[in-house]
């Protein structure tokens, strides 16, 4: 079966760095997405990785290793507004998105 | 660019009635639209995928006669929850994907449905 694993909840301090991991097992791979979702709102796109390596976009970076079925989202210089759920999703061979359950990130002052 | 709107943003209806939710791509042509449901503190659950001009493909366990999806144009898809029950109360989110994008899905703001 298809499976996406990510931690349920993480806590970090304002100004610090946090890494949210995601491991996956899917039938085929056409890219991995990270989305941010604030409570009561729809997800917003953060990043897309289809090749191995690190993609940097401002305070956020995303890494992919296809051979390991592994990705992480790195958030630097954490701000209180970064408190949200972070969703990892993999596009399978049918171009269908398989969603992880999301990681709730709590930022403390 | 790539804005998706949903209407209404929230709705309260009585048990047994039907509710229609609209999803529009405002500045691009959405060849494919997706409908998701999200219960509190849970992840997104894909309900169905619709391509313009064809019947929607429903995920296992989703009743197609209860959740009617119409994708009549490249900018509009509708989800109708028929004979709604309190257990249908949820956050319904649509997303759209157009040709030429890197398979990214653009999400609407969601519709919160409460059935009393």
Contact A49, A64 (CB under 8 A): yes
Q: Which residues of chain A have pLDDT under 50?
A: none
| Listed range (A20-24, A63-67, B11-15, B44-48) with the worst mean pLDDT | B44-48
Residues of A at the B interface, defined by Cβ within 8 angstroms:
30-31, 33, 35, 40-45, 48, 50, 87, 91, 95-97, 99-102
Is B103 in Cβ contact with A31 (below 8 Å)?
yes
Please give the Cα distance from B76 to B23 (Å, whole number).
6
pLDDT at site A89: 94
Give the closest residue to B16 by CA, choosing from B69, B66, B77, B58.
B66
Instruction: Classify the phi-psi angles of A85: left when phi > 0, otherwise alpha if psi is within -120 to 50, otherwise beta.
Output: beta
Write out pLDDT tens, residues B63-108: 999 999 998 888 999 999 999 999 999 999 999 987 765 567 889 9
């Amino acid at each position: 079966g298809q499976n996406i694993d990510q931690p349920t909840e993480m806590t970090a301090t304002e100004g610090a760095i946090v890494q949210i991991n995601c491991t996956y097992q899917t039938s085929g791979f056409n890219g991995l997405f990270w989305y941010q979702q604030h409570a009561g709102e729809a997800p917003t796109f953060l990043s897309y990785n289809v090749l191995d390596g690190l993609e940097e976009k401002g305070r956020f970076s995303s890494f992919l290793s296809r051979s390991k079925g592994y990705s992480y989202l790195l958030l630097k210089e954490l701000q209180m507004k970064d408190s949200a759920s972070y969703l990892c999703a993999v596009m399978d061979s049918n171009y269908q998105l398989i969603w992880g359950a999301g990681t709730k990130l709590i930022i403390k002052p | 660019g790539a804005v998706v709107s949903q209407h209404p943003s929230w709705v309260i209806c009585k048990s047994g009635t039907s509710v229609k939710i609209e999803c529009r791509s405002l500045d691009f042509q959405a060849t494919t639209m997706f409908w998701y449901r999200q219960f509190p503190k849970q992840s997104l659950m894909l309900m169905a995928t619709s391509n313009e001009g064809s019947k929607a493909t429903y995920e296992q366990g989703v009743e197609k006669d209860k959740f009617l999806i119409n994708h009549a144009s490249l900018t509009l898809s509708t989800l109708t929850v028929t004979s709604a029950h309190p257990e249908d109360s949820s956050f319904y989110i649509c997303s759209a994907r157009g040709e030429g994008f890197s398979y990214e899905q653009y999400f609407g703001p969601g519709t919160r449905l409460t059935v009393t």
